[in-house]
Amino acid sequence: MVYLELFLSFMKIGFTSFGGMSMIPLILEEMQVHHWMTAEDMTNLVAIAEMTPGPLGINSATFAGTQAAGFLGGMAAVAGVLTPAFSLTVLVAVFFEKFRKSEEMRCIMEFVKPICIAMILGVILTLSRENYAMEGKLKPCSIGIGAIMLYLLLKRKWPVPRVIISAAVLGILYYGMLLVF
């Protein structure tokens, strides 16, 4: 039964999101509603899905499904998240010429873009509470690492993989030393 629930949940996510980070709030909601993952698991999901090669939606579905129900759960979640994309791609391909020049489609996209941005900001706020605070207290080292990485991305124009590796090294050094002491 859990495999069907995973398939249907991720199919719903696939139909109601637009890929990438816009999927994360929907995945978070499904995972919490079904009690498949904790907030900490969701933080790990986003980190792992972003670090691993491939589309965020498939990576997230694989991780979430596997966490919830093992290998077959991962397969069910991936099949669910791919079903809408495959179906819609075939449908759009058939009507591509009509949609490409449609004024209605342009208007719809102008409406959808701000909604996606708001959803992404919501995810940032939700995950920031998990990553930068613990039991109501701020975690200065985590905030510092985040600020340094933001500076390196925006001001120094470091490539994303280099920033991810640097953040991982700093986190391992800091938190690894805390475990030693």
pLDDT digits (tens, 9 = 90+) for 60-86: 899 899 989 999 999 999 999 999 888
Question: How far are the Cα atoms of 33, 57, 98, 123, 131 from residue 37, in angstroms, in the given order?
Answer: 9, 16, 42, 16, 16
- Give the predicted TM-score (pTM) of the model: 0.56
Read off the pLDDT of residues 9-18 as tens digits, 9 standing for 90 and up. Answer: 999 998 887 7
